[in-house]
Structure 1
Amino acid sequence: MDLFTHDELNELTKHHDQPCVSIFLPTERKGPDVLKGRVRLKNLLGKAEEQLQEQGLAEGNIKRMLAPAWQRVEDEQFWQHQSDGLALFLAEDGMRQFRVPQSFQESVHCRDHFYINPLLPLLQANGQYYVIAVSQGDVRLLEGTRQGLEELEKDSLPKDLNSALGWWHEQNTSFHSMQQKSGARRGDDTVIYHGHDTDQTEHELKTYFRKIDEVVAETLKGKSAPLLFAGVDYLFPFYQEINEYPHLQQEMIHGNPDDWNASEIHDRAWQIIEPKLQASEQQLVDQFHERAAHELATADLDTLLTAAQFGLVETLVVSSSARLPGQYNTETQTIIYANKNDEQSEDLIDRAVLMTLESSGEVIGFEKEKLPTELPLFALLRAPLSTVAK
């Protein structure tokens, strides 16, 4: 799996006024259908070629631009290592790919900038979360969404507690005493250290967690999704003390994660994450209604795009699967709507997203049915509507 970060987003949004191809498709993690992605990508690349030809791009340039993606079509090993969705971004300077735990509808977009809307939920806490699972024999950092949980491959993480505290275990210190005793109540772990001073043991544990935290903090830099700790109760206070990631949750997943696969961890984590997600979504909806009464929120597309153009959108909430075809004139601040089946027209939601990001606004993806507005987007503004009145 490939981690999609704000840094990656910034790199993608730097591409302007040049041919850019964005491709999205669902993929399979395992089973007999894993190679179906090859067929999907082949068909989407055919559509990309047609669109680029219609836009007047030379045949040689088209072949060079799409060549890295065609190589993926022929690479059977590549399709054996997928997540739930694949996003490819191709331009004259190369290709970026993201295998992510989020399924996509098949689509291809050939524009003068990359189309990023389907990836927006991965940048927010919209059901996205992380788990750091720590046990005696393993350390795993996992990324999850509503759909499931998948391990992030991080070779820089400590291998296990034994390797970090080798001298302790070599002298028969019993880590198993940290596991919850059979029949013990949650949070009532009993710890017995054999042959070593408790202070020294705690020092070694903090060293171990410090190594873990360095990797976690660097990997999740700039992210805002919640992080859950999975492990025996005794270890959590040590991690809390060392942790530098600001979104570590007070709740934890209790138990020995060695006993669980990613799906089982997700089931436990989602019981914690889902209520937080629902509360966060409701808070945004409440803010919209409250601020709309004071002209600090809007769901009017004309006003919203004008506000975004002048950097007045603080938070833009969109349905990442929605599309509103049309053209926005930045000189007159007017919209010309297009037929909903016009795939060559500009996407007005995409335009709102790009202008919001360019002015350091926040963009949050919502499921369409949870939006409190008729249109699939709304905005919280930094200044009253009168500031952007035409």
Structure 2
Amino acid sequence: MSSETYSPGGLPGSAPGTLHGRGVDEDHENQIVRFLSKVNKGIQEFLQDETVPLVLACVDYLLPIYKRVNSYPHLLEEGITGNPELSKPEELHTQAWAIVQPTFQQAEKEAIDRFREFSGNNQEQASDALKEVVQAAYNRRIDSLFVALNHQQWGSFDPQSNTVQLHEQHQAGDQDLLDLAAVYTVLNGGTVFAVEPERVPAQSPIAAVFRY
């Protein structure tokens, strides 16, 4: 078995920040498992109810060990192998995006299909009416939301009365209601697809699939 160096923040029984080799004994592997279990716990606390895909970046022999202790349901099978400390953040981002892009594309396609199905057969489950979408976003009803990039719709929303006012031009105290709907959707656990206008599956800069 080859010798490699990995620095996962320092493991008990090794030099600070260093883990030597694949040929570790059982006790040392148990130390790795305990360390990665703590990493998993931290990730769970950080992501909580998120559904974003998780990509591991580590030396290859740690991938299967981490998968044994992982409890985050959206960990992707493929990871970025090699010592991540030797890569620049933008390089890791490029490699991670190549892995997660198909997942996002598939999720977007499924959301488009649901919107089109509900728009034709069950209109209570989907809408491209901005007022209704803003209200639904605030009330935690939105599962998936499409918002057109580089579009604004000025207006106001009063959560207490659940009323939306649309304005043709920006007025004092106005908000971009497209952005507001996106923020409420994310805060309430929904998925937002910020896309080019032609990719919104409606004759509107916004389209939503409801949870109920």
Higher RCO, 1 vs 2 (CA within 8 Å, ≥6 residues apart) = 2
* Contact kept in structure 2, 1:320 and 1:365, CA below 8 Å: no
Aligned length: 204
Match of 1:123 in 2: none
2:203 is the alignment partner of 1:374? yes
Q: Distance in 2 between matches of 1:323 and 1:382?
A: 25
Match of 1:298 in 2: 127
Q: TM-score, normalised by structure 1?
A: 0.44
Q: Distance in 2 between matches of 1:210 and 1:331?
A: 44
* Contact kept in structure 1, 2:6 and 2:20, CA below 8 Å: no
2:13 pairs, out of 141, 147, 165, with 165
Match of 2:56 in 1: 229
2:70 pairs, out of 214, 233, 243, with 243
Q: Distance in 2 between matches of 1:238 and 1:286?
A: 37
Letter in 1 for 2:20: F
> In structure 1, the residue corresponding to 2:55 is in which secondary structure?
strand
CA displacement 1:153-173 (0-9 Å, x = unmatched): xxxxxx23xx4232xx79xxx
Calculate percent identity across the aligned residue pairs: 25
Q: 1:237 to 1:312 in 2, by over 3 A?
A: closer
Q: How does 1:317-336 map to 2 (within 5 A)?
A: 317-319=146-148, 322-327=151-156
Superposed CA RMSD:
3.6
Which has the higher Rg, Structure 1 or Structure 2?
Answer: 1
Letter in 2 for 1:282: K
2:208 is the alignment partner of 1:339? no
Letter in 1 for 2:207: F
How far is 1:297 from its partner? Answer: 1.1
The answer for unaligned runs of 5 or more in structure 2 is none
Q: Distance in 2 between matches of 1:209 and 1:238?
A: 8
* Contact kept in structure 1, 2:147 and 2:205, CA below 8 Å: yes
Q: Distance in 2 between matches of 1:209 and 1:288?
A: 40
> In structure 1, the residue corresponding to 2:145 is in which secondary structure?
strand
Q: Distance in 2 between matches of 1:310 and 1:220?
A: 22
Q: How does 1:83-122 map to 2 (within 5 A)?
A: none
1:204 pairs, out of 25, 31, 34, with 31
Q: 1:212 to 1:362 in 2, by over 3 A?
A: closer
* Contact kept in structure 2, 1:209 and 1:239, CA below 8 Å: yes
> In structure 2, the residue corresponding to 1:326 is in which secondary structure?
strand
Q: Distance in 2 between matches of 1:277 and 1:230?
A: 19
